[in-house]
Amino acid sequence: MLRNFREAQAGTQSRIEELEKSRMITDAENARRARIEELEQENTELEARLMKMGQINKNMNLKLKYLMLKRIRVINSRVQTRCIQIAKEIHNEEPMIKYRFPFLNGLLELNAPIKNIKFYQRCKGLSIGFIASAVKNLEISLIMIAFVRIMEFPS
């Protein structure tokens, strides 16, 4: 009987050890699951911050583009004023200046009455588009001098 009792006690002891191991495994799994939940929550928070930062970045890019376009308009206005002054100096009369859209990238079209010659010239740093219609006799050298003078103006 004592033998049966000792065997039962040994079986109970081994069963207790197995239960302790399974409890430790369960505790480890619970800790791992809790850590996974924490990481998922942190991931969700970081994704929300990323979306917010992306929106802020998008707004800043739009603001920057607006300010750049505003600056380009101011520069274009200055250049156009200088071009008008040059035209007044060369022709001694009011030039006809018409604004064209910026996609023309500063393409100048000069309509000279001599043989209906059209000159297309792209000026360095000149990003406005306008048509300067020349009245009276105009020589090619005067047109080229006007382009050179436009490019020589300091910023």
Instruction: Express each pLDDT in 13-26 by its tens digit.
Output: 888 888 787 887 78
For residues 31-43, average pLDDT: 91
- Can you give the pLDDT at residue 106? 44
Residue 83 in contact with residue 130, Cβ under 8 Å? yes
Residue 14 CA from chain centroid, whole number: 69
Share of the chain above pLDDT 70, in %: 54
Measured CA to CA, the distance from residue 51 to residue 104 in angstroms comes to 37
What are 44-103's pLDDT values in tens digits? 999 999 999 999 998 898 888 888 888 877 777 777 777 777 767 776 666 555 544 444
Mean pLDDT, the chain, whole residue set = 66
- Can you give the pLDDT at residue 48? 94
